[in-house]
Structure 1
Amino acid sequence: MEISIQEIRDGNNKTFDKVYALYHTKLYFYVLKYTQSAYLSEEAVQLTFIRMWERRQQLSTEVELSRQIFRIAQSTMIDLLRKEGSYTKQHIAPTEAAQSVFIEMDTVHKDELRRLQTLVEDLSPARKMIFKLSRFEELSHKEIAQQLSISPKTVENHIGRALRQLKDKLLLLF
């Protein structure tokens, strides 16, 4: 079955369906081999095809489609594992010396995170709410503006001022 990368780049749904049918199972077992999780495997495969379709204009006609798909799948799998927090736990076996460094770094990061959380709590109520929606709930400026019935520019201004305020206070701490 010959598949034209250019047809995919042009948005041909039938060609995309052929690619999906041809690679879905292969990608599933490829990811399953590394994650040992049916859920993560299915999620990674779906996200791989979504990313491929969304970025189809960036597909190279000079590189085999299978290489490009598996590269996208690998990147997607790593992203998912990082989000799950299991990438380092399952795939990296640190030595004792490295473990002590990780523990020390983890303690330092926890302290810094607590300081940062304290500084965020010191922001004005509106600025704190907007900052948390943006950075912790990962909402866009437009989504925050709609949710709070304010303009996106106001959201942008609050986030900019919050970042400057946090940066200034963090510089004083260190």
Structure 2
Amino acid sequence: MRNMTNDEQLLRAIAMGNTEALEQLYARYWQHLFTAAYNVLKNKAVCEDIVQEAFLQLWQRRETLEIQTTLQAYLFSVIRYSVFKHIKKEQSHSQVFQHLPERLHYITPEEIVIEKNIRSQLAVIVNSLPEKCREIYLLSREEQLSHNEIASRINISPKTVENHITIALKKIRFGIARMTGIFFLLNLI
């Protein structure tokens, strides 16, 4: 069988019972899926089983499977669900929960570059805020102070603090959207 180039072709072939198409799909995604599972579970054998099971399910459901997203997103969702199912089943293994938040999301190199660019743009925008506005924003976000704590620290009213933070957030959102073309802001602010 010739090497199929896109996932849709492979899925159609798999739906018709083509095992070579399944092998191509497996070769294309198994390492990324394994890594995503391993980043959370840190157990090679369990992660290999989870990936194998994902492709087995794909094969078993091949004739009725309807994927609403991309195949890659679908496969990562299956892996994520299986990992959480495994964690729930094995709750007594406390090492699974060590550093869990850091391991929950498999980060691609592209995501790292995008986040770095957005953070850099955010710093430029924050530095361009008026002095008082910037000071209040940084006290709120970097020092995690409440509006009342900021107000008492710099001797202004909590309402003025709220107004400055609102202004800062509007300017930051607009600046990020203008620079990146993204009209929503990830949880960086």
TM-score range, shorter chain: 0.3 to 0.5
TM-score normalised according to structure 1 size: 0.46
Query: Higher helix share goes to which structure?
Result: 1
The structure with the larger Rg is: 2
